[in-house]
Structure 1
Amino acid sequence: MVKFLEALISFYTILPLRYHNLEYAAEYSYLSPLVVGFTTGSIAGIVCIILGWILPPCILAVIALSVLLLLTGFTHVDGLMDVADALMFRGSREERLKILHDKYCGSAAVITVLVVELTSIMSLTILICHSLLSAVIAIIIAEVVARIPHVILAYLGPLPNYHGLGYTFVSRMLGRVDKLVKMFILTLPVVIVLSLLAGITPKVILLLVVLLPLTLLYRAVIVRSFGFITGDILGASIELFRTVSLITLSIGL
């Protein structure tokens, strides 16, 4: 049990754990929303609690998001940038895939990341201004929920036509109803309990309701543009849906 926990955290974050096993991480990736999301969200939340008494909300929001991005080694941000550049290119799937995998960064990538992360910062600022404790819990919820589409996308596929990280993870999850059900059974109760503690249950329910259609919309755009799900596409989904989660949780405050 400890091995798969360490494998997940060591793969998805930069935390210095001794056990590194890609196959284990891929096999148990359906638990990443709960294990990884709760871990990264809790660490960022602790930082907020420590600094929340001396820093203004806007600065605290920047630090909180920076911690979240740093914990993942900015790999999901890199995926978002690659996907944005490739989607903006007007050409064949093969040409888009080349752009997805090249090392260059275009204007679409920069603007997309700025919009996504600045929106997250603004949403976090609103949450912190309302209540620091509720904001901390909202960060954990957002980190957990943001990884649910990652699992759904791997479950739905399609499988990439080349071997890479995306192939490894999608192949272990593709069509596995048992893993998808386990993910929901283990994750949703934790999310609901946290929402009750923060007093934001209606917003969390709204978030969960819109999550599936938005995930399917994202997948439709991706499949039409690339033909399958890659590692960059999975990583980009985490960044996008963290922002979606924070926006939803900050509504009406």
Structure 2
Amino acid sequence: MKDAAFGLVLALQFLTRLPLPFACPWTPATRRWAVRCYPLVGMLLGGLLATAALLENLLPAPLLALALLTLWVALSGGLHLDGLMDVADALGSNAPLERKWEIMKDPHVGSFGILALVFLLLWKAALLFVLLQAGASLLLLVMILGLGRFSAVALLVLAPAARPEGMAASWKRDLSPRDLWLAALPLLPLAALVPGGVWLCLALAPFLMLYAWGMLRAFKGINGDIVGTAIEGGELWLLLVAWSWWSFVTG
């Protein structure tokens, strides 16, 4: 159980900006547990957002949606957004493979990265607004952020690393399909409780397959930026699915 506790702390330290000043051992066991805890961390972040959303009586819906999105970005420190911009710049370059990798490593942000960031945040804010306006269950946020990080687990377990070094390769080491199933465990009871939760789980599959196919075709493997982009893209897709389900099934 000590390895599991260390793994949870590692996942929180890596995926969030929550203050946890603990030094955890970096071993195969703690790495595995950290990846298994990714969805659990997402559920925690979603719970914080859902709690903040209870301020709906104090703020009009547009301001509340913007406040929630600001908190959403702040809790993760923009980590995944940075990866999104790097991937967008590399894809937008239409350059040969090696040049794409150079662009992804470049600390400067290009026009494609800025456009991707702006439109992703605009779409997230708009979808948060319409969900709030529709009176959707706030537990959807817990489900969406948990499933978004499950996307990262799926890529780390199932997709090949593009390079033997780097963040993704270090996290991938020693993982197996069993870790994917263990990561899904906390999401299963929640899916049964949240209105539309089962539909969100089912809708994640085509996104993951299409995203993985596109990334492997473009980059021949994954890295940390590609994994982070899967989280951001998965969250946006699930927000859209949640709005569609809530509007057309319960509306």
Superposition TM-score, scaled by structure 2 size: 0.89
Equivalent positions of 1:151-230 (< 5 A) are: 151-173=153-175, 176-193=176-193, 195=194, 200-201=195-196, 204-230=197-223
**Does structure 1 residue 39 correspond to structure 2 residue 44?**
yes
What is the deviation of 1:44? 1.6
Task: Measure the CA separation in 1 of the matches of 2:203 and 2:221.
Answer: 23
Amino acid at match of 1:81: M
Tell me the residue number matched to 1:140.
142
**Residues 4 and 111 of structure 1, relative CA distance in 2, 3 Å threshold:** same
Which one is further off, 164-173 or 36-45?
164-173
**Cα distance in 2 for residues equivalent to 1:227 and 1:150:** 17
The answer to whether the 8 Å contact 1:158/1:229 transfers is: yes
Q: 1:114 is matched by which residue type in structure 2? A: V
Aligned amino acid, residue 102 of structure 2 = K
Say whether 1:77 aligns with 2:118.
no
Q: 1:111-122 counterparts in 2 under 5 A? A: 111-122=115-126
Distance 1:21 1:236 in 2: 26
Q: Which residue of 2 aligns with 1:106?
A: 110
Q: What amino acid is aligned across from residue 15 of structure 1 in structure 2?
A: L
**Pairwise CA distance, 1:192:** 2.3
Task: Give 1:22 shift.
Answer: 7.1
Structure 1 residues 192-230: Cα deviation after superposition (integer angstroms, max 9, x where no partner):
22x1xxxx23xx333222211211111111111111110
1:250 corresponds to 2:243: yes
1:2 maps to 5
2: CA distance, partners of 1:4 / 1:236:
22
The range that moved more, 39-48 or 15-24, is: 15-24
Q: State yes or no: 1:12 paired with 2:10.
A: no
Alpha-carbon contact 1:159-1:171 (below 8 Å) kept: no
For the 8 Å contact 2:10–2:34, the answer to whether it is kept is no
Query: Which residue is 2:35 aligned to?
Result: 30
Structure 2 unpaired stretches of 5+: none
User: d(CA) in 1 for partners of 2:47 and 2:103?
Assistant: 35
2:11–2:35: 8 Å Cα contact kept in structure 1? no
Q: Is the 8 A contact 2:9 2:34 kept in 1?
A: no
Q: Is residue 235 from structure 1 mapped to residue 241 from structure 2 by the alignment? A: no
Contact 1:6 1:20 in 2 (8 A): no
Match for residue 71 of structure 2?
67
Q: Secondary structure at the match of 1:40?
A: helix
CA contact (8 A) 1:10 1:20 kept: no
| Cross-structure match for 1:123 | 127
The code of the aligned residue for 2:226 comes to: I
Gaps of 5+ in 1: none
Q: Answer whether contact 2:11 2:38 (CA < 8 A) is retained.
A: no
Contact 1:29 1:151 in 2 (8 A): no
Ranges of 4+ aligned residues in structure 1 off by more than 6 Å: none
Kindly tell me the number of residue pairs found equivalent between the two proteins.
241
Structure 1 residue 150: Cα displacement: 0.7
Aligned partners of 1:40, 1:209: CA distance in 2, in Å?
22
Superposed displacement of residue 185, structure 1: 3.0
TM-score, length basis structure 1: 0.89
